[in-house]
Structure 1
Amino acid sequence: MSKAGFNYLMDMDGVLVREEHLVPGADQFIGELRDNDTPFMVLTNNSIYTPRDLRARLLRTGLDIPEEAIWTSALATAGFLQEQRPGGSAYVIGESGLTTALHNAGYIMTERDPDYVVLGETRTYSFEAITRAIRLVENGARFIATNPDEKGPSREGSLPATGAVAALIEKATGRAPYYVGKPNPLMMRSALRAIGAHSENTLMIGDRMDTDVRSGLEAGLQTILVLTGISDTTTAELFPYRPTAVMASIADLVGRSRNPFEEKSGE
């Protein structure tokens, strides 16, 4: 266990930021963790951006989080493939967050007989690229997707995300992808390794029951659901599993990071 008590994994959107704005108290909580040298990792299923990109985005909201404390589904996917088939090849649908992670893992990007088709998030899904992916999967390429999220937000409304496009490819090929990102506990375990932590001493903070809480639970972590994102108390009750605790927001953890299950003095 860290000197500060628990180690922390936490989701980004809906926990620390919401629609490009800081969730009140998030900066204080992160500052407390850094002051106490508490190991932590910020997680996101979004594979578009590199940790450097995300650090810059968070800085604009007032959050100072080092690149090495940001863990994306792209990094988890690259690490998984590096372990499965070192020095392999992939046909990739995605953006710089994913291609950079795969290059850094020693992978070759190719359209010719790749070991894997790797599907990630992108702002512009190309019908031509999806068609090529379908044909490569039909010809024997293994199908990997960074995360199962079916839609994402935009200023104009919902956008189709990785899970929706993966469903299209699966329907056309009859081959289901292997999803690396949340709720796969593999992403939790890879993040734990990255900070040298153990599940028994680590908390997962998230805003979604179906991804954050589920993946934390399946990885053996205690979990905290905050109500500043997707899930609320009503929808949380519909799931067959429960978080360890429910809190209004991450602000409720300020001053109690060593043991968030103890009440603050005076309460």
Structure 2
Amino acid sequence: MTNKKYKGYLIDLDGTIYMGNDRIPAGEAFIHRLQTAGIPYLFLTNNTTKTPRVVQKRLAEKFNIETGLETIYTASLATVDYMNELGLEKTVYIIGEDGLKEAIYEAGYKKERENPAYVVVALDSDLTYEMLALATLAIHRGAKLIGTNPDLNLPSERGLLPGAGSLVTMIEAATRVKATYIGKPEAIIAEKAVEKIGLPKEELLMVGDNYLTDIHTGIDNGIDSLLVTTGFTAPEEVPGLNPAPTHVVASLDEWEV
């Protein structure tokens, strides 16, 4: 298909470049075309459970994509960038997995259970009631509540599981405090991704399979969007999407870079 030539791409991973543990050959070929053409891209993921290094290794070993660490920007990294900007005391209580904890602790933040400056909540498959209690009490004492992403559900082979947004919502209900959300489609991750790739918004295209997160990252933040119907948002939903994505394809093989 013919299209506007974009100078840079912000690209979702799961459902767009691969599907869980399964390959999407058109997604792999799309990245190879960008690499051959020398067009800059940034993988933009709400997944906080994996570090950029783990994401990089997985892309190379399972999906035939060799890419630099600087091309991977996770909600964990965006959370750290946001916390650094706020400049509060570097103490934090985290509900989340290793990818998030590693990013925050490597940035010099110290674990604090009683009186942290921040409570950061992400997906945590080992969640306990005590963890929720500690987070709630810390927020009552004045800690700032950050949700890494607003995804209420996590697609899996078992079906739709509770996502990070569901855990944050529970703590919001217990504290009557609204969280600051970082991940797609929020402005925080979008602005930081634009800054990182170093191109104006009008020269960028946001590519993804999820209308609610990926495509709204574009729509809500003044960036053109390309919906590929290989994942979350089904082809039959497309006619009813309002506002519509800038572009829609059934496969990334259809897209000329």
Q: TM-score range by the shorter chain?
A: over 0.9
User: CA-atom RMSD, angstroms?
Assistant: 1.6
Shift in alpha-carbon separation, 1:87–1:114, aligned structure 2, 3 A? closer
TM-score normalised by L of structure 1: 0.89
Shift in alpha-carbon separation, 1:210–1:101, aligned structure 2, 3 A? same
- Aligned pairs for 1:10-89 within 5 A: 10-59=11-60, 60-85=62-87, 88-89=90-91
Matched residues in 1 for 2:173 and 2:22: separation?
Answer: 37
Structure 2: gaps of 5 or more residues: none
1:142 aligned onto 2:121: no
Q: Secondary structure of 1:130's match?
A: helix
Matched residues in 1 for 2:198 and 2:122: separation?
Answer: 27
State the Cα distance separating 1:201 from its structure 2 match.
Answer: 0.5
Aligned partner of 2:93 among 91, 94, 108: 91
Q: Secondary structure of 2:159's match?
A: coil
State the Cα distance separating 1:86 from its structure 2 match.
Answer: 5.6
State the Cα distance separating 1:159 from its structure 2 match.
Answer: 2.4
Which shows bigger deviation, 163-172 or 98-107? Answer: 98-107
Aligned length: 252
8 A contact 1:82–1:106 mirrored in 2: no
State the Cα distance separating 1:128 from its structure 2 match.
Answer: 1.1
State the Cα distance separating 1:63 from its structure 2 match.
Answer: 2.1
Q: What CA deviation, in whole Å up to 9, does each residue of 1:148-186 have, x standing for no partner? A: 111213333332221111111111111121110011022
State the Cα distance separating 1:82 from its structure 2 match.
Answer: 0.6
1:209 aligned onto 2:196: no
> Runs in 1 of length 4+ with deviation above 6 angstroms?
none
1:232 aligned onto 2:255: no
Q: Secondary structure of 1:113's match?
A: coil
Structure 1: gaps of 5 or more residues: 258-267
TM-score normalised by L of structure 2: 0.92
State the one-letter code of the partner of 1:53: V
Q: What CA deviation, in whole Å up to 9, does each residue of 1:66-94 have, x standing for no partner? A: 22111111111110111111652211111
Matched residues in 2 for 1:54 and 1:90: separation?
Answer: 25
Q: Secondary structure of 2:191's match?
A: helix
State the one-letter code of the partner of 2:15: G
Q: Secondary structure of 1:68's match?
A: helix
In the other structure, the counterpart of 1:179 is: 181
Q: Secondary structure of 1:41's match?
A: strand
Percent identical pairs in the alignment equals 33
8 A contact 1:15–1:23 mirrored in 2: yes
- Aligned pairs for 1:123-202 within 5 A: 123-202=125-204
1:103 aligned onto 2:105: yes
State the one-letter code of the partner of 2:169: A
Q: Secondary structure of 1:129's match?
A: helix
Q: Secondary structure of 1:158's match?
A: strand
